[in-house]
């Protein structure tokens, strides 16, 4: 799976990008037909502590899965996105098995 990380208005360090890539490649154990993942990291200019936005677009055959989470850090937001995508991929796989 190819992972594209986009960070408008700031530069992400290599540790953060490697962390995101490691987390997203673990999704392949739940659904092996993932084509690519687009990750958008954004910072909101608010007074709240949860001003980091992580948005993941997962391209799979038959449609795309999109998850968007707000968190205190990009790592926390990535973990929440991966958990949500994991549930969605498991549901999709169960539906495919039901049709076979």
Element (H, E) at 89: helix 74-99
> What's the total number of domains in the chain?
1
Average pLDDT over residues 54-76: 94
Q: What is the DSSP letter of 58?
A: E
Contact 20, 5 (CB under 8 A): yes
The Cα 36–Cα 24 span in angstroms is 10
Domain residues for the domain of 73 are 2-99
Q: Look up residue 22 and give its two tokens.
A: 């490691």
Is the pTM value of this prediction over 0.85?
A: yes
CATH number at residue 31: 3.30.160.100
**Residues of the chain above pLDDT 90, percent:** 71
């Amino acid at each position: 799976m190819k992972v594209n990380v986009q960070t408008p208005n700031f530069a992400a360090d290599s540790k953060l990008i490697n962390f995101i890539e490691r987390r997203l490649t673990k999704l392949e154990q739940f659904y092996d037909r993932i084509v690519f993942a687009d990750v958008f990291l954004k910072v909101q200019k608010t007074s709240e502590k949860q001003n980091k936005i992580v948005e993941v677009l997962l391209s799979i055959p038959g449609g795309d899965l999109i998850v968007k989470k707000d968190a205190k850090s990009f790592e926390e937001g990535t973990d929440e996105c991966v958990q949500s995508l994991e549930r969605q991929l498991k549901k999709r796989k169960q539906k495919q098995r039901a049709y076979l």
